[in-house]
């Protein structure tokens, strides 16, 4: 759509918009996977829940703002009032029409032109809705609405008070009669604010939801931002909030500016009341393989849609629905669900909890929009409760709230103010101006918040008892009004927030009203605003694209680029006495325990979800879909691995588990790690494995990152060997390797040890007797360096070409108790360990 786009003045263009243009917008809306229209943000402006169709074509942009017809064309087609079009005049002349006369035998027909119908939608002919009568004369003054693209959150001052103890808090809870009215709740805003909001909303009581939606779409300056390339508009709200708050969620920093999450650490997050998951899709996209998310939401129509996470790796997001995990119902009100989800998150974050929690709960409040806040009180509470239960100290939280007029909700904000370092109430521009939605942003959870968590848990237990139809009672206060109103900075902040957001909402509602009445009004700044804001939020202006099924061979070639592929099918050399003698510096090598034959090593290419392919060493470039093993890997993941039968337990209870042992990493979620140091590759790999491991998914093959040893410490490997009864061992004790840090007490039968070169020729690592430390020595130039020179780092290729497999098969005795005859032609433990020992300085 071509529009005159001058900011800030030319707000509206009045065109003779035909009904077909409006219909055009309807077509556009059908392609919009608009989250709000499920009625879950429930405010009046959204109308009742509507089942929306998914984009018919994945490439249709969410932000498409045009019906395809230019406004100029329509203006040109429109006829001036009082005259007939050429075609109509010709037809009428044929029927004997004379200018100024009516048609009919005696010219008795109507002289004036029949006006185009102003009937809207399915509204009955002649029905007039007070305040919404169609009229071309209704105008909209752009000056009424403030458009500020430079959004800023205002923060409540830091609360210096200590967190109250549980006894004090229990004394704060007050029960009262159930209340279902809001119009007298003006303790935390000006009387006028509440009155205006309720009055403005009531205008729309009889308006068709579709009419409402169209007027809203045309009037909201930020409407065409939509979901950008994410699955819904919600994702863009998160993008908007994150960017305005200096990426405090996706890139958290300490107060001195240092990143909270180190390069090889995982950014953990949780997304609650969160289906279909647009927020998480945004986080996973922005953090690109650096984060792992956990989510809980109600099962059903609004469940997570991981298959629609086109932008970010859904493989790194794990839903959990409370009691019974994946089979649970996800209802956050239930204390048992809360407890199950909390332990799940804690267990998967090393007991620490997540770095941040997002909550966006909402449900349809059709017909009761004015009391949405009252109906949502338990949702507000439970989201805060679960969030603080899974956050680590210093963690951040954001949660959608609607109105904040009642003491109950304000009390909840107050509790957050007492346990977080800073709190803000913020409405991003992506949240439609005419609704009452806003977000509470809580920065840095305090260590001493436990009494508040316990108190909120108890409040929820009480709410579960009272919020049943048979009860006439409710919890009216969780913090006494006196405390809320006597904390001056807090009270002033809440009132100011309610008044300013309320005024904006009223303007938004009035604007929709004007646009509903006059179909010729247009918001001309939408396209410019969209471009400007996407830039500010660092969101590329791209189309939403469904991933296409890529050909593994061509994708592999694209990834590898012009690097020599000789190492891919290179067989790892078996360690012999001769090759052992080639090992001259122990410090140049690392070791990992092998669980399969070297010839069984495979490359695995992940192309998103279950599109995972494998290539055997000797396959001359053929990639085959991994159908026998179920794996889910993010797009552009390329690893080298072996399939190992691990064992767990003993005796008849012993279980065999097929696992994937990763031996090296080339690409992880699209990131090229080939040229990193082996240690660094392994760090990244460990992080990756943690992110994609889903303990809720027994159908997926477990992926394991190896234990890495220095060659000089190879005897530590021997120290982790044991003789155990193992399935398939014909009743005899078998040599087993017990991995480090294995929570599940898994073990496997080792096939030997891979000895991997991690220093690149001509560099080696030597021992400096004078400084008593290692240093890098260039055998060609004789240059030495205590710091790792970049050209001393062996890439994946160099490591692979200089690796050895010390094979442990029949005739090799590693443990004294092992009953076996040693084969002198094979490399024994003594020979290998002695050789390595001799390479080490005698300190
Ligand atoms: C507006 S949607 C969330 C949108 C989401 N943030 C996104 O980005 O796609 C509100 C969600 O709250 C969920 N919800 C409502 N009541 C809930 C409850 N009692 N327990 C868990 N989830 C709930 C709804 O099922 C819905 O998925």
pLDDT of residue 116: 55
Q: Residue written as tokens 């042992």?
A: 661
pLDDT of residue 107: 66
Show Cβ contacts of residue 40 under 8 Å, excluding neighbours closer than 6 positions. 49, 302, 362, 363, 364
Bigger pLDDT: 741 vs 470 = 470
pLDDT of residue 10: 33
pLDDT of residue 124: 56
299, 328 in Cβ contact below 8 A? Answer: yes
Residue 74 has pLDDT above 80, yes or no: no
Query: Ligand 1: which residues within 6 Å by Cβ?
Result: 35, 40-41, 232, 234-235, 273-279, 297-298, 302, 330-333, 360-363, 379
Q: How far is the CA of 207 from the centre of ligand 1 (A)?
A: 26
Q: How far is the CA of 782 from the centre of ligand 1 (A)?
A: 65
Q: What's the rounded mean pLDDT across residues 160-175?
A: 98
Minimum mean pLDDT range among 142-146, 435-439, 804-808: 142-146
Q: How confident is the model at residue 375 (pLDDT cuts 50, 70, 90)?
A: very high
From 270, 477, 250, select the one nearest 389 (Cα to Cα). Answer: 270
| Residue whose CA lies nearest to ligand 1 atom number 6 | 274
Atom of ligand 1 nearest to the CA of 300: 25
Residue 79 has pLDDT above 50, yes or no: no
| Residue whose CA lies nearest to ligand 1 atom number 23 | 273
DSSP, collapsed to helix, strand or coil, labels residue 671 as strand
Q: How far is the CA of 666 from the centre of ligand 1 (A)?
A: 38
Q: How far is the CA of 841 from the centre of ligand 1 (A)?
A: 63
Residue 394 has pLDDT above 70, yes or no: yes
- Using a pLDDT cut of 90, give the percent of the chain over it: 77
The number of angstroms, rounded, from the C-alpha of 364 to the middle of its chain's C-alpha atoms is 23
CATH 3.30.470 maps onto the chain at 552-758+793-839
Atom of ligand 1 nearest to the CA of 282: 8
Burial (0-12, 13-18, 19+ Cβ within 10 Å), 780:
exposed
717, 708 in Cβ contact below 8 A? Answer: no
Joined tokens for residue 147: 């458009």
Q: How far is the CA of 333 from the centre of ligand 1 (A)?
A: 12
Joined tokens for residue 506: 């009223």
Among left, alpha and beta (phi > 0; psi -120 to 50; other), residue 155 is beta
Q: Residue written as tokens 């690392």?
A: 590
Residue 115 has pLDDT above 80, yes or no: no
Pocket test for ligand 1, best of 360, 364, 383, 428 (most atoms within 8 A of CB): 360
Cα–Cα distances in angstroms (integers) from residue 215 to residues 41, 53, 209, 515, in the given order: 18, 20, 10, 5
Q: What is the pLDDT of residues 133-149, one digit of tens each?
A: 888 888 999 999 999 99
Q: How confident is the model at residue 598 (pLDDT cuts 50, 70, 90)?
A: very high
pLDDT of residue 21: 27
Q: How confident is the model at residue 203 (pLDDT cuts 50, 70, 90)?
A: confident
Helix axes 377-390, 407-419, angle to 10 degrees: 10
Q: For 253, how many CA atoms within 13 A lie in the half-sphere containing its CB?
A: 10
Q: How far is the CA of 50 from the centre of ligand 1 (A)?
A: 16
Q: What's the rounded mean pLDDT across residues 764-768?
A: 95
Q: What's the rounded mean pLDDT across residues 551-567?
A: 95
CATH 3.40.50.12760 maps onto the chain at 189-536
Residues recognised as catalytic: 237, 360, 400
Pocket test for ligand 1, best of 228, 308, 362 (most atoms within 8 A of CB): 362
Kindly provide the residue ranges of all beta strands, DSSP E only, lying in 686-762, ordered along the sequence: 702-704, 709-710, 721-725, 733-737, 746-748, 752-757
Atom of ligand 1 nearest to the CA of 363: 15
Q: What's the rounded mean pLDDT across residues 616-638?
A: 92
Q: How confident is the model at residue 438 (pLDDT cuts 50, 70, 90)?
A: very high
Check residue 806 and report its DSSP letter. Answer: E
| Domain 189-536 in this protein, CATH class | alpha beta
Query: How far is it, in rounded angstroms, from Cα 671 to Cα 301?
Result: 35
Q: How confident is the model at residue 65 (pLDDT cuts 50, 70, 90)?
A: very low
pLDDT of residue 88: 66
Pocket test for ligand 1, best of 234, 275, 276 (most atoms within 8 A of CB): 275
463, 196 in Cβ contact below 8 A? Answer: no
| Residue whose CA lies nearest to ligand 1 atom number 8 | 278
Joined tokens for residue 485: 């109103």
Element (H, E) at 293: strand 291-296
Q: How far is the CA of 273 from the centre of ligand 1 (A)?
A: 4
CA angle 52, 56, 58 (to 5 degrees): 115
Bigger pLDDT: 59 vs 362 = 362
DSSP, collapsed to helix, strand or coil, labels residue 778 as strand
Q: What's the rounded mean pLDDT across residues 52-73?
A: 33
Taking 3-state DSSP, the helix, strand and coil percentages for the chain, each rounded to the nearest 5, stand at: 35, 20, 50
Q: What's the rounded mean pLDDT across residues 657-673?
A: 97
Concatenating the DSSP letter of every residue in 675-697 gives TS-HHHHHHHHHHHHHHH--TT-
Q: What is the pLDDT of residues 235-264, one digit of tens each?
A: 999 999 999 999 999 999 999 999 999 999
On average, the pLDDT of the chain sits at: 88
Residue 653 has pLDDT above 60, yes or no: yes
Q: What is the pLDDT of residues 255-303, one digit of tens each?
A: 999 999 999 999 999 999 999 999 999 999 999 999 999 999 999 999 9
Q: How far is the CA of 40 from the centre of ligand 1 (A)?
A: 7
Joined tokens for residue 689: 């494995």
Residue 428 has pLDDT above 90, yes or no: yes
Minimum mean pLDDT range among 91-95, 297-301, 478-482: 91-95
Phi, psi angle pair for 758, to nearest 5°:
-115, -5
Kindly provide the residue ranges of all beta strands, DSSP E only, lying in 432-583, ordered along the sequence: 438-445, 473-477, 573-574
| Domain 552-758+793-839 in this protein, CATH class | alpha beta
282, 275 in Cβ contact below 8 A? Answer: no
Pocket test for ligand 1, best of 301, 361, 387 (most atoms within 8 A of CB): 361
pLDDT of residue 3: 34
pLDDT of residue 110: 66
Q: What's the rounded mean pLDDT across residues 227-235?
A: 97
Q: How confident is the model at residue 27 (pLDDT cuts 50, 70, 90)?
A: very low
Show Cβ contacts of residue 513 under 8 Å, excluding neighbours closer than 6 positions. 131, 132, 200, 203, 204, 215
């Amino acid at each position: 759509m071509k529009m005159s786009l001058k900011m800030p003045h030319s707000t509206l263009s009045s065109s003779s918009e035909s009904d077909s243009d409006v219909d055009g917008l309807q077509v556009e809306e059908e392609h919009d996977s608009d989250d709000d229209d499920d009625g879950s943000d429930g405010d009046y402006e959204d109308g009742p829940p509507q089942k929306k169709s998914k984009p018919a074509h994945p490439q249709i942009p969410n932000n498409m703002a045009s019906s395809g017809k230019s406004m100029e064309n329509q203006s040109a087609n429109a006829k001036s009032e009082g005259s007939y079009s050429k075609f109509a005049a010709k037809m009428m002349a044929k029927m004997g029409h004379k200018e100024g006369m009516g048609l009919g035998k005696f010219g008795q027909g109507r002289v004036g032109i029949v006006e185009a119908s102003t009937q809207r939608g399915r509204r009955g002919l002649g029905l007039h809705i007070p305040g919404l009568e169609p009229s071309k004369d209704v105008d909209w003054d752009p000056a009424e609405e403030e458009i500020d693209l430079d959004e800023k959150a205002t923060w409540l001052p830091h609360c210096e008070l200590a967190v109250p103890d549980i006894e004090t808090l229990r004394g704060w809870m007050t029960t009262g009669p159930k209340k279902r009215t809001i119009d007298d709740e003006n303790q935390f805003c000006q009387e006028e604010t509440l009155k205006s909001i309720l009055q403005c909303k009531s205008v729309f009581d009889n308006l068709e939801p579709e009419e409402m939606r169209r007027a809203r779409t045309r009037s909201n300056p930020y409407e065409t931002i939509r979901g950008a390339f994410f699955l819904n508009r919600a994702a863009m709200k998160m993008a908007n909030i994150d960017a305005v708050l200096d990426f405090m969620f996706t890139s958290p920093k300490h107060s001195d500016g240092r990143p909270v999450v180190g390069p090889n650490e995982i950014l953990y997050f949780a997304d609650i009341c969160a289906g279909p998951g647009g927020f998480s899709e945004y986080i996973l996209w922005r953090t690109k393989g650096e984060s792992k998310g956990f989510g809980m939401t109600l099962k059903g129509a609004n469940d997570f849609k991981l298959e629609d996470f086109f932008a970010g790796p859904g493989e790194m997001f794990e839903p959990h629905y409370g009691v019974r995990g994946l089979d649970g119902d996800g209802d956050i009100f239930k204390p048992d669900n809360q407890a199950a989800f909390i332990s799940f998150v804690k267990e998967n974050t090393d007991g620490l909890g997540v770095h941040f929690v997002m909550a966006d709960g909402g449900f349809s409040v059709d017909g009761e929009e004015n009391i949405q806040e009252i109906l949502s009180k338990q949702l507000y509470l439970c989201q805060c409760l679960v969030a603080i239960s899974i956050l680590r100290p210093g963690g951040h939280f954001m949660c959608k709230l609607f109105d904040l007029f009642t003491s109950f909700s304000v009390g909840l904000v107050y509790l957050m103010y007492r346990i977080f370092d800073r709190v803000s109430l913020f409405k991003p521009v992506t949240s439609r101006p005419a609704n009452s939605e806003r977000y509470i942003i809580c920065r840095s959870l305090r260590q001493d918040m436990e009494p508040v968590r316990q108190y909120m848990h108890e409040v929820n237990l009480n709410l579960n008892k009272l919020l049943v139809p048979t009860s006439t009672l409710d919890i009216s206060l969780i913090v006494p009004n006196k405390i809320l109103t006597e904390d001056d900075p807090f009270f002033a902040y809440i009132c100011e927030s309610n008044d300013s957001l309320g005024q904006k909402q009223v303007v938004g509602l009035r604007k929709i009203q004007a646009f509903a009445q006059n179909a010729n009004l247009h918001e001309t700044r939408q396209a410019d605003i969209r471009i400007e804001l996407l830039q500010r939020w660092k969101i590329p202006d791209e189309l939403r694209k469904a991933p296409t099924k890529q050909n593994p061979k061509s994708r592999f070639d694209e990834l590898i680029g012009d690097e020599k592929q000789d190492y891919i099918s290179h067989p790892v050399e078996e360690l012999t006495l001769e090759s052992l003698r080639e090992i001259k510096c122990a410090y140049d090598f690392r070791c990992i325990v092998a669980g399969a034959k070297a010839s069984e090593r495979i490359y695995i290419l992940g192309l998103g979800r279950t599109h995972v392919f494998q290539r055997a060493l000797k396959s001359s470039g053929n990639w085959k879909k991994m159908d026998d093993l179920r794996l889910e890997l993010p797009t552009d993941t390329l690893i080298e691995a072996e399939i190992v039968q691990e064992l767990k337990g003993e005796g008849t209870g012993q279980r065999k588990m097929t696992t994937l042992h990763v031996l090296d990493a080339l690409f992880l979620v699209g990131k090229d790690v080939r040229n990193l140091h082996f240690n660094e590759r392994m760090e990244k790999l460990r992080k990756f494995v943690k992110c994609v491991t889903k303990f809720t998914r027994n159908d997926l093959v477990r992926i394991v990152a190896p234990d890495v040893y220095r060659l000089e410490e190879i005897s530590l490997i021997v120290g982790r060997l044991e003789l155990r009864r193992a399935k398939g061992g014909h009743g005899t004790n078998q040599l087993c390797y017990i991995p480090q840090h294995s929570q599940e007490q898994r073990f496997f039968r080792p096939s030997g040890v891979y000895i991997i070169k991690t220093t690149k020729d001509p560099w080696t690592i030597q021992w400096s007797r004078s400084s008593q430390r290692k240093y890098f020595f260039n055998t060609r130039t004789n240059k030495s360096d205590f710091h790792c020179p970049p050209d001393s780092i062996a890439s994946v290729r160099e490591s692979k070409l200089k690796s050895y497999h010390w094979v442990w098969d029949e005739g090799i005795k590693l443990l004294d108790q092992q009953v076996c005859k040693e084969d002198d032609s094979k490399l024994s433990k003594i020979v290998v360990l002695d050789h390595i020992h001799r390479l080490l300085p005698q300190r």
